[in-house]
């Protein structure tokens, strides 16, 4: 059983605010139900910029506390930094403070390879990571469909290392 559970909302590309809240509420309820009793650290990762453009697409990462989210969000720590490296480094410090090593990362499938590349650069073998797909709906739902990245190129890896 994981001692820490991280939910990656860093790459949200919202299509519908209502669907976002419903899916987020469902995901957080499931995580709380399955992990809150044993996990010592429940964390949501998201970007600190409420809205910014990347490759001409608008990314919205704001987590509003309406539609029943307020009470549920109190159970989670929200780590919000401008970059993935900064976010994961902040989380690493919090995990180290709590002396935890077993970590479950719930991440959208299309970001899993990228997340693993960042984790490989920031964390040592002392940490044990388990990955779970964040269940998302593409048709009229929460995320715009993205192509899953299965391989990180040498250039992308250098970019990750430079960011770190």
Give 24-63 as a 3 state SS string: HHHHHHHHHHHHCCCCCEEEEEEECCCEEEECCEEEECCC
Q: What is the pLDDT of residue 58?
A: 40
Which of 141, 95, 98 is CA-nearest to residue 122?
95
pLDDT at 90 over 90: yes
pLDDT tens digits for range 96-107: 999 999 999 999
pTM comes to 0.75
- Which residues contact residue 132 at a Cβ distance below 8 angstroms, ignoring those fewer than 6 apart? 104, 105, 106, 107
Domain hosting residue 86, numbered range: 4-163
Q: How many domains does the chain have?
A: 1
Q: How many residues does the chain have?
A: 164
- Mean of all residue pLDDT scores within the chain: 77
């Amino acid at each position: 059983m994981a001692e820490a559970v991280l939910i990656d909302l860093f790459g949200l590309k919202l299509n519908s605010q209502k669907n976002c809240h419903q899916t987020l509420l469902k995901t957080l309820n499931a995580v709380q139900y399955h992990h809150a009793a044993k996990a010592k650290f429940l964390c949501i990762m998201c970007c600190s910029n409420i809205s910014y453009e990347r490759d001409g697409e608008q990314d919205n990462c704001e987590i509003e506390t309406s539609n029943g989210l307020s009470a549920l969000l109190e159970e989670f720590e929200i780590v919000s930094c401008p970059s993935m490296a900064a976010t994961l480094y902040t989380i690493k410090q919090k995990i180290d403070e709590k002396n935890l090593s077993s970590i479950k990362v719930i991440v959208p499938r299309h970001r899993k390879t990228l997340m693993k590349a960042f984790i490989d650069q920031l964390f040592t073998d002392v940490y044990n990571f388990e990955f779970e797909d964040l269940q998302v709906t593409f048709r009229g739902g929460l995320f715009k469909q993205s192509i899953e990245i299965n391989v990180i190129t040498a250039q992308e890896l250098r970019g990750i290392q430079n960011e770190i």
